[in-house]
Amino acid sequence: MKILVCISKTPDTTSRIAFKDNNTKFDDAGVQWIINPYDEWYALVRAIELKEKDAQVIIHLITVGGPDCDPVIRKALALGGDLATRVNSTDSDSFNIASQIAAVAKTEKYDLIMTGKETIDFNSSSVGAMISELLEYPFVSLATKFDLNNDIATITREIEGGEETVELKLPMVISCQKGMAEQRIPNMRGIMSARTKPLNVVEPISVAATTEYLNFSMPPAKAGVKLVPADQVAELVRLLHEEAKVI
């Protein structure tokens, strides 16, 4: 069984968000890059658990980006991927990313393709669904549980107003979120072996840009907190009722 796990590089969750070059680019000065938490904690770790149960499982990692993604993909290899591919394209349009991954998947024929539910930088929630359309595979989004019995998967997923459990046959694409697995820390052996695992760099196919990020802006700053003394709770209620008009 071959699993493809899609890995995205994102700024660390505590990063200061700022922009440069006339607000057209993310200012990465001093930013630490991590594996997008949804890709790592949920998709990748669940794939590793499946491999621990069945040694035949091969975990292939893929990322779309420039050479600055290599440290992040090495970290994912240290956690437990078998091999990795980086498609050398820096265009971050979701459709481009999905098209690059689908192009690799068309020749490699994976049984299962896993993504995080979204990235914490662009929050688009779209790459997994787009890959599934390009490959004409079923797609199950926002999965919180995934079990496999031969080629039949049982998946619990979030739906509007609750959750449901569904059954379907491989191959498929799934997007993963909290519940799938627990976070792990790479061990020394993993880190050492990651250095020798293959990381292939392939050139991108040509994809027409459907969208273009022009520039960024910050939300207006809060006016500052109005503090109410702890013994004047009625005043807080009055402010919420008359000033903010929210209760």
Ligand X SMILES: Cc1cc2nc3c(=O)[nH]c(=O)nc-3n(C[C@H](O)[C@H](O)[C@H](O)COP(=O)(O)OP(=O)(O)OC[C@H]3O[C@@H](n4cnc5c(N)ncnc54)[C@H](O)[C@@H]3O)c2cc1C
> Among residues 83 and 92, whose Cβ is nearest to another protein?
92
Query: Strand pairing of 19-20 and 25-26?
Result: antiparallel
- State yes or no: residue 11 binds ligand X (CB under 6 A): no
> Among residues 120 and 191, whose Cβ is nearest to ligand X?
120
> Among residues 10 and 96, whose Cβ is nearest to ligand X?
10
Taking CB under 6 A as the criterion, the residue among 11, 37, 186, 204 binding ligand X is 37
Taking CB under 6 A as the criterion, the residue among 13, 56, 123, 149 binding ligand X is 13
> Among residues 35 and 84, whose Cβ is nearest to another protein?
35
- Min separation Cβ 117 and ligand X, Å: 13
Spell out the residues 6+ positions from residue 90 whose beta carbon is closer than 8 angstroms to its own. 65, 66
3-state secondary structure (DSSP) of residue 96: helix
> Among residues 39 and 199, whose Cβ is nearest to another protein?
39
Give the tokens for residue 236. Answer: 């807080």
- Min separation Cβ 37 and ligand X, Å: 5
3-state secondary structure (DSSP) of residue 77: helix
- Min separation Cβ 190 and ligand X, Å: 20
- State yes or no: residue 123 binds ligand X (CB under 6 A): no
- 228 neighbors 236 (Cβ within 8 angstroms): yes
- Min separation Cβ 60 and ligand X, Å: 25
- Specify the DSSP element, H or E, that contains 175: strand 172-176
Query: Strand pairing of 9-11 and 33-35?
Result: antiparallel
Spell out the residues 6+ positions from residue 244 whose beta carbon is closer than 8 angstroms to its own. none
Which residue in the block uniquely carries the two structure tokens 């209760």?
A: 247
- State yes or no: residue 56 binds ligand X (CB under 6 A): no
Instruction: Using CB under 6 A, list all residues that contact ligand X.
Output: 13, 37
